[in-house]
Homo-oligomer: A and B are copies of this chain.
Amino acid sequence: MPAAPHTRRADARRSIASILDAAIEELARDPDASMGAVAGRAGVARATLYAHFPTREALIAEVTDRAIAEASETIAAAAPEEGEPREALARVVAAAWRTLGRYHALVAINSRLSPERLRALHEPVVGRLRPLVERGQKSGAFNADVPADWLLTVALELVHAASREASAGRLPEAAAEPALLAAVAGALSAPATSAGAR
């Protein structure tokens, strides 16, 4: 055991960065893309890829972890704990949705994972939003008749959907954000209809 120097040389760090970028792009095109394809796009030999990521699973795990971490930081930076719930939600979703766009391919990849692992993966993101949702449910701003986790899932899923639609060109970039915000706000809001009907 050489006690782990933990200091990579400059070219190694460059390779790793290229590989991670390439993995995101290539896996976005085809969730089943091979290691060779990723290496090719990264402009790196396949052997080099294996030198840094011992297995395909390890590579995907690393990519996923980075995406989740980035999303989590973006959300935290939007201060979900401040202000009126509806307004805070709009702020947070608006901040997160563009950042998440690059990574929506990972959703397809991770759909192969066990539900438990998937849940654990999303926890850093969901965890930051749960207090906001629960706060909104207590204040009457959000629907308190359903589990908080369901509302979180809905918000997450709508962000993914907007990202897909926008990147597919079916929803103009300019129109996407307001459309998303309206959908999220409505989907989470307390059911006004039942109050009026009764």
Query: B-contacting residues of A (Cβ < 8 Å)?
Result: 30-32, 86, 107-108, 111-112, 115-116, 118-119, 143, 145-147, 149-150, 153-154, 157-158, 160-161, 164-165, 167-171, 175, 178-179, 182-189, 191-193
Q: Are A165 and B186 in contact (CB under 8 A)?
A: no
- Whole-angstrom CA separation of A13 from B183 in the bound complex: 45
A164–B107 contact, CB under 8 A? no
CB distance from A118 to the nearest CB of B (A): 8
Chain B: minimal CB distance from A120 (Å): 12
A160 CA to B115 CA in the complex, in Å?
A: 12
A84 to B123 Cα, complex, angstroms: 39
Contact present for B107 and A111 (CB under 8 Å): yes
What separation, in Å, do the CA atoms of A186 and B151 have in the docked complex? 12
A contact face: mostly helix, strand, loop, or mixed: helix
CB pair A150–B164 under 8 Å, yes or no, is no
B175 touches A147 (CB 8 A): yes
Residue pair B119, A86 in contact (C-beta under 8 Å): no
Q: When chains A and B are docked, how far (Å) is the Cα of A139 from the Cα of B94?
A: 29
B residues within 8 A CB of A165?
150, 153
Verify A86–B193 contact, CB threshold 8 A.
Answer: yes
B145 and A111 contacting across the interface, CB-CB below 8 Å: no
The reply to whether A187 and B183 contact each other, CB–CB distance below 8 Å, is yes
| Contact among B118, B179, B189 for A147, CB-based, below 8 A | B179
The answer, among B112, B150, B161, B189, for a CB contact under 8 Å with A171, is B150
Contacts of A184 in B (CB 8 A): 187
The reply to whether B179 and A186 form a contact with Cβ atoms under 8 Å apart is no
Q: Given the known inter-chain contacts A161-B157, A165-B150, A171-B147, please indicate yes or no for A32 contacting B112, CB distance below 8 A.
A: yes
A-B pairs with beta carbons under 8 Å apart, 30 shown: A31-B111, A32-B112, A108-B112, A115-B167, A115-B168, A118-B168, A119-B168, A143-B182, A143-B186, A145-B179, A145-B182, A146-B175, A146-B179, A147-B171, A149-B170, A150-B165, A150-B179, A150-B183, A153-B161, A153-B170, A154-B161, A154-B183, A157-B158, A158-B158, A158-B187, A183-B188, A185-B193, A187-B187, A189-B193, A192-B192
